[in-house]
Amino acid sequence: MSTVAAKKPNLHHARKIKRSVGEHIFDTCNIIFLGLLALTMLYPFWYELAISLADANKVAISKVFIWPEAMSLESYKNVCSDPNIWSGYMWTIIRTVLGTVIALMLGFHFAYVLSKKYFPNRVLWTGLLVFTMFFSGGMVPDFLLIRDLGLTDSVFALILPGAISAYNITIMRNYLMSLPDSLEESARIDGANDIVILYKIIFPLSLPILATVALWTAVGHWNAWFDAMLYITKSNKQVLAITLRRIVIAGTNASATSMSGEEMNTNMTSETIKAATIMVATLPILCVYPFVQKYFVKGVMVGSVKG
């Protein structure tokens, strides 16, 4: 027994030694490549942060690469003084929360039904769901439908058309199919009905895929602007993405427009205002990701492989 125990560390050490030079080179190249890839994604965000904090009166914007030599918060003060920013925040939060909750409720129950082999005409309903991923009525019929339903200038015009996502339901269905049938069978033997099985057993086990789909849906609602431009005509009901689009295109906002050109250029420019607006609109949704990160990889991998 002692001889076997003494050999275990040697075997572990031998496995480490077996790594060839080629494997070390491969790992090094992977680290370098992924590091550069991460840098290309991180640097634009960092650059916008640096531009938003730059004092245009003391440093040229074209010379800001990593961090400005002189900083100013005037651009953020100017952006936050725009009332459209705060009303846009309110409607965007309402849209994101309601849209994500409704999409998860409908999608999860839809996916659960389609994941059961004993569901009648399961293949037919799955085919109809997948069909909608490739064919749709188009923008004009969608607009006429929203108008005739009286949803114009309503937040539900931004939520209901995308409440059923064929792609997300397919991912959730594949995840639910990966759960062993023995869980449901043993629960039925213990006297549990369908409602108890769904909410006491299946739902807790589905948190990884629900968190993944919730993140996708929330980011989609937060960044969406085209449907709001079509269906929302009142400026006080516009979402934040529309305000961001207007500021980025115009290069200024409502409060900055009232300033004289000399006053505005003393410590901020249109570029610093654009950058500050982008940061204000982007940071909240970025703060959500760390809370669902632990579920994200597991939900994507299992939900996409099984089928």
Summarised one tens digit per residue, pLDDT across range 98-118 is 999 999 999 999 999 999 888
What is the rounded distance in angstroms from the CA atom of residue 112 to the CA atom of residue 118? 12
pLDDT at 148: 92
Average pLDDT, the chain: 81
- For the chain, list the domains and their CATH numbers: 2-53 (no CATH), 74-305 (1.10.3720.10)
Q: Please give the Cα distance from 172 to 211 (Å, whole number).
A: 11
Q: Would you state the pLDDT for residue 102? A: 95
**176 closest CA partner among 213, 223, 129:** 213
B/e letters for 147-171, b = 16+ CB within 10 Å, e = fewer, are: eeeebeeebbbbbbebbebbebbbb
Q: How many residues does the chain have?
A: 307
pLDDT for position 64: 76
pLDDT digits 0-9 by tens, 228-268: 999 998 888 889 888 888 877 765 554 444 444 444 445 56
Which structure tokens are listed for 188? 């039925």
Task: Supply the pTM of this predicted model.
Answer: 0.77
pLDDT for residue 50:
87
Q: How far apart are CA 213 and CA 152, in angstroms?
A: 27
Q: What is the pLDDT of residue 17?
A: 53
- The reported pLDDT for the residue numbered 69 is 79
Low-confidence ranges of the chain (pLDDT < 50): 1-8, 11-14, 254-265, 303-307
Q: Which helix (H) or strand (E) holds 290?
A: helix 270-305
CB under 8 Å to 47, separation ≥6 — which residues? 64, 65
Q: Give the pLDDT score at 303.
A: 47
Report pLDDT for 124. 92
Q: Hey, is 54 helix, strand or coil?
A: strand
Q: What share of the chain is helix, strand, coil (3-state, %, to 5)?
A: 75, 0, 25
